[in-house]
Amino acid sequence: MFAILTQFLTAAASTLLEPAATAVLLIIFGVLILIAVLSSRAMNRLGVPTVLLLLVLGMLGGTQGFGGIWFHNYHFAYRLGTIALILILFEGGFNTSPAEVRTVLWPAALLATLGVVLSAALTALVALFCGLSMHESMLIGAIVSSTDAAAVFSVLRAGKVNLRPRLSRLIEIESCFNDPTAVMLTTLVIAIIENHKESVGWLLVNIPIQLIIGAAGGIIIGLAARYVLRKATLSTSGLAPVFTLAAAMVSYSGATLINGSGFLAVYLTGVFLNSPSLPYRSGLTRVHAALGWLAQISMFLMLGVMVLPSELLHVAWVGLAIAVLLALIARPLAVAACLLPLRFPIKETAFVGWVGLRGAVPVILATFPLMAHLPGAEKIFNIVFFVVVINTLFPGSTIRWVTRRMGLASDEKPAPEAVLEINSPRPLKSEMRSFLIEKSVAVCGATLADLALPSSAAVMLIVRDGNLVAPRGKTVLEAGDHVYLFFDQADRPLMELLFGRSEEGGVG
């Protein structure tokens, strides 16, 4: 990781020698980022993934766009993309609990291994059918075989797709697990093309080894980092995200150095580092969410800048055919082969097969043939980029509609309109939680004076219809209220008996 950062700073220093050139470059990227941020809400309302907007803005800022930025350093792009994926995967893991991972572990692992291999093989057949050579077809199949975590998080979370929790977690965790398989497949195909026969067998054995080492390393570092953060006394809360970011770097680098999957390791580090009693948890969540968004925006803008729109026209029909057949045939068949034997419902299997979003990872993998100087590498890069763009529109923009049509929307409780937080440098014996008052709970319709709360518990705030209500003895709890309650941890069973299940958003 530190080597990547060193190369990043060296490349930046060598590129931006002229102050005027630096200022112009920063202005262009600043304007593109502002447009992306301000347009994200409108894009979400239209059902168009923000990823597509970022790619288009990147192309507009490139050599053949208005910005005129020339950037075709594929080695640098690969390293910068790696740093961005570390931030994105860690943020995704930090918002996922170990219990959620366990509920979908086996189907996600099967999709991330066998599913990726089957998808690669079927896509290669599609590419052959479209008139590409055997080597080109094998490369494209391997490169676009995995779903992309950045695209999945962008669509499911930022797009506020109200999907059932199990399906949402399965799609997200699969996208975090399957990168090692796609990387190994791409490396394997390049070794076959370069006639490195001695590497083929080793690469086939290496896939499960990388997954095992990456998983073990991520869990160990995540638990160790959580223990240290809970025991250490930091001089300021601003150092907490520095500590967790360093843990993510160590996780990726350590796993990579011992032949493990760094991407899987950094995701699981985020999963096992987080806990409800983690100090500075609310602040850490916000900081890593901001870093994750910055990484997504920067990475997709960079990938857009690398593409020449005029060259995309030469591969448009081939790219369109591969993208459509990948979405309609290759991905659904691969998912069905993995999930139907596990007795997954047909409707859910079909949905997972449809939501096979491609994004930054395939484009980054498409730089591998370019760095290896393989014949036709530029053509393959352009086809992969075209596939990603089409896949973002189809099926990316249809996910919310398909969710409603298939009846897979979640009946989750609405989020509170205001959030009350408590930040402490040390774990507290007491806790503060928010509860959504439903008609079925015991306290609905009761006054606060009637509640038999322990002496260590108190109602701190009520949020009702966008208004903050000061709790008084005569205040009546109404259905739809979000109530913030302070109590000792030992009294949690009683609180949940009276108020129902607590809301995660109310954790301080």
pLDDT tens digits for 25-73?
677 777 777 887 787 777 766 656 677 778 888 888 777 777 677 777 7
Q: Average of pLDDT values for 427-456?
A: 84
Q: What is the pLDDT of residues 270-316, one digit of tens each?
A: 999 988 778 888 788 889 988 988 888 888 888 888 887 888 888 88
Per CATH, the number for 430-506 is: 3.30.70.1450
CA separation for the pair 159, 150 (Å, rounded)? 13
For residue 104, pLDDT beyond 70: yes
CA separation for the pair 430, 432 (Å, rounded)? 7
Q: Which residue, 55, 126, 110, is CA-closest to 327?
A: 126
CA separation for the pair 10, 138 (Å, rounded)? 35
Where are the chain's structural domains? 2-405, 430-506
Question: With bands split at pLDDT 50, 70 and 90, how would you rate the model's confidence at 505?
Answer: very low
DSSP letters, 424-438, are -SS--SEEEEEEE--
CA separation for the pair 249, 1 (Å, rounded)? 6
For residue 466, pLDDT beyond 50: yes
According to the model, what pLDDT value does residue 411 have? Answer: 65
Question: With bands split at pLDDT 50, 70 and 90, how would you rate the model's confidence at 203?
Answer: low
According to the model, what pLDDT value does residue 294 have? Answer: 86
**Strand-pair category, 430-436 with 458-464:** unpaired
What is this structure's pTM? 0.77
Question: With bands split at pLDDT 50, 70 and 90, how would you rate the model's confidence at 428?
Answer: low
Share of the chain above pLDDT 70, in %: 86
According to the model, what pLDDT value does residue 139 have? Answer: 93
For residue 82, pLDDT beyond 80: yes
Residues making up the chain, counted from first to last: 508
According to the model, what pLDDT value does residue 121 have? Answer: 93
Between 1.10.10.10, 3.30.70.3340, 3.40.190.10, 1.20.1530.20, what CATH number should domain 2-405 receive? 1.20.1530.20
Indicate the range of 42-46, 230-234, 303-307, 321-325 predicted with least confidence: 42-46
CA separation for the pair 125, 129 (Å, rounded)? 6
Q: Average of pLDDT values for 159-179?
A: 81
3-state helix, strand, coil in the chain (%, to 5): 70, 5, 25
CA separation for the pair 161, 44 (Å, rounded)? 10
Angle CA(355)–CA(356)–CA(359) in degrees, nearest 5?
A: 120
What are residue 384's phi and psi, to 5 degrees?
Answer: -60, -45
HSE-CB at 194 with a 13 A cutoff on CA atoms is: 16
According to the model, what pLDDT value does residue 17 have? Answer: 47
According to the model, what pLDDT value does residue 439 have? Answer: 87
424 or 327, which is more confident: 327
CA separation for the pair 127, 394 (Å, rounded)? 18
For residue 337, pLDDT beyond 90: yes
According to the model, what pLDDT value does residue 413 have? Answer: 60
Q: Mean pLDDT score of the chain, rounded to an integer? A: 82
Question: With bands split at pLDDT 50, 70 and 90, how would you rate the model's confidence at 199?
Answer: low
Q: What is the pLDDT of residues 354-396, one digit of tens each?
A: 988 887 788 888 888 888 888 888 899 889 988 988 887 788 7
Question: With bands split at pLDDT 50, 70 and 90, how would you rate the model's confidence at 412?
Answer: low
According to the model, what pLDDT value does residue 24 have? Answer: 67
DSSP letters, 230-253, are HH---SSTTHHHHHHHHHHHHHHH
How many CB atoms within 10 Å of residue 267?
35
Angle CA(139)–CA(143)–CA(144) in degrees, nearest 5?
A: 120
CA-to-CA dists, residue 461 to 274, 402, 415, 443, 508, angstroms? 26, 38, 15, 15, 13
Cβ(81)–Cβ(360) below 8 Å: yes
Indicate the range of 27-31, 34-38, 108-112, 180-184 predicted with least confidence: 27-31
CA separation for the pair 243, 283 (Å, rounded)? 13
Cβ(391)–Cβ(360) below 8 Å: no
Question: With bands split at pLDDT 50, 70 and 90, how would you rate the model's confidence at 2?
Answer: very low
Q: Which residue, 183, 425, 170, 129, is CA-closest to 282?
A: 425
Question: With bands split at pLDDT 50, 70 and 90, how would you rate the model's confidence at 204?
Answer: low
What are residue 69's phi and psi, to 5 degrees?
Answer: -80, 125
Do the domains spanning 2-405 and 430-506 agree at the CATH topology level?
no
Name the amino acid, one letter, at 198.
E
Question: With bands split at pLDDT 50, 70 and 90, how would you rate the model's confidence at 353?
Answer: very high
Cβ(113)–Cβ(207) below 8 Å: yes
